[in-house]
């Protein structure tokens, strides 16, 4: 059974997705200067589609997502679902497109973290220290 906090988080997420879609990303399309997309990915256990707003960094036509969870010790569910999925969908503004998924590892992950995520949004650096874990980076590349 979900805790009150989990139910409130889910309700807030649902409201954020609704506002983003209604406004075409004009509301909720940026957080602390970082652009936000809507990520839809199948749940790893249920297979049901889940949509969540996630900050992203763009480079060479791909979208990079840092699973920071704002520095929480537990990584967000969406990264766990991405690890189990072959594809996902991203919405930016009113545009929706399918993407392939790659969870970065080693030097490629470190480069994306330092040269893209932290270089663009320095406040992300504190999230890794605060969380006590290595923050995963997903690279999503449009397939169409």
What number is the average pLDDT over the span 125-138? Answer: 94
What number is the average pLDDT over the span 1-11? Answer: 73
The structure tokens 């929480």 sit at: 72
pLDDT class of 83 with cuts at 50, 70, 90: very high
Q: So what's the pLDDT on residue 53? A: 96
pLDDT exceeding 70 applies to what percent of the chain? 97
Residue 2, classed as helix, strand or coil, is coil
What number is the average pLDDT over the span 88-107? Answer: 97
Residue 56: pLDDT over 90:
yes
- 51-78 in b/e form (b: 16+ CB < 10 A) is bbbbbbbeeeebbbbbbbbebeeebbeb
What number is the average pLDDT over the span 68-86? Answer: 94
The pair of three-digit structure tokens given for residue 41, joined into one six-digit string: 């990915």
Residue 12: pLDDT over 80:
no
Mean pLDDT of the chain: 93
Q: So what's the pLDDT on residue 29? A: 85
Instruction: State pTM to two decimals.
Output: 0.90
Residue 1: pLDDT over 70:
no
Q: What is the CA radius of gyration of the chain?
A: 15
Q: So what's the pLDDT on residue 2? A: 65
H or E stretch including 83?
helix 77-84
102-111 residue pLDDT tens: 999 999 999 9
Domains of the chain: 4-142 (2.30.110.10)
Residue 70: pLDDT over 80:
yes
């Amino acid at each position: 059974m979900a805790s009150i906090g989990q139910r409130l988080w889910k309700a807030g997420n649902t409201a954020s997705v609704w506002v983003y879609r209604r406004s075409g990303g004009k509301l909720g399309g940026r957080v602390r200067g970082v652009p936000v997309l809507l990520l839809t990915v199948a749940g790893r256990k249920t297979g049901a589609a889940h949509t969540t707003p996630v900050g992203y960094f763009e480079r060479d036509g791909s979208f990079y997502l840092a699973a920071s969870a704002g520095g929480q010790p537990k990584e967000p569910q969406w990264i766990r679902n991405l690890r189990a999925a072959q594809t996902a969908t991203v919405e930016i503004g009113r545009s929706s497109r399918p993407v392939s998924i790659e969870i970065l590892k080693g030097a490629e992950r470190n480069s994306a973290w330092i040269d893209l995520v932290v270089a663009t949004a320095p406040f992300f650096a504190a999230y890794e220290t605060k969380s006590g874990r290595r923050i995963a980076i997903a690279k999503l590349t449009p397939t169409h």
